[in-house]
Amino acid sequence: MRFMIMVRATADSEAGRMPEESLLAAMVSYHEALSKAGVLLDANGLLPSSKGWRVQYDAQGERKVLDGPFAETKELIAGYTMIQARSREEAMQWAQRFPSPFPGQPCSVEVRQLYELEDFAPSPAIERFRDIPGNGQ
């Protein structure tokens, strides 16, 4: 079971303010523990939305590119950690150990389980996806 721990953005992360050394050290310790336990798949911070864009689709499938920044900070992700756990409970235990990403201010991390190819009914498209190198399965 794979899970993504997503750090919600704040005004500070959207302004590009870098974390204090003490937070970096706590994050490194946490991710070292994940790695030693064999559950860490990937982890990284994201640049502010001002450096990104969205591709928006209308009902007919037409695409439009929207450059950042994006106004609703509460809907943005500032970073993530991907883990592979044996159960939802194990993933929850790891998530509860996640250091507070923005000490001194209210913040949250969201945890979502990823779909596995086995969650989908067998089909030619799923088999094609299974054969793609680097698809994370």
pLDDT at 5: 97
- Where does the chain show beta strands of DSSP type E? 2-8, 40-45, 53-57, 63-67, 77-84, 109-113
pLDDT classification of 116: cutoffs 50, 70, 90: very high
Q: Which long-range contacts (CB under 8 A, 24 or more apart) does 38-43 make?
A: 39/83, 39/84, 39/85, 39/90, 39/94, 40/81, 40/82, 40/83, 41/2, 41/82, 41/83, 41/84, 42/80, 42/81, 42/82, 43/79, 43/80, 43/81, 43/82
In angstroms, the CA 123 to CA 137 distance is 16
- Per-residue pLDDT for 105 more than 90? no
In angstroms, the CA 78 to CA 10 distance is 8
pTM: 0.89
Percent pLDDT > 90 in the chain is 84
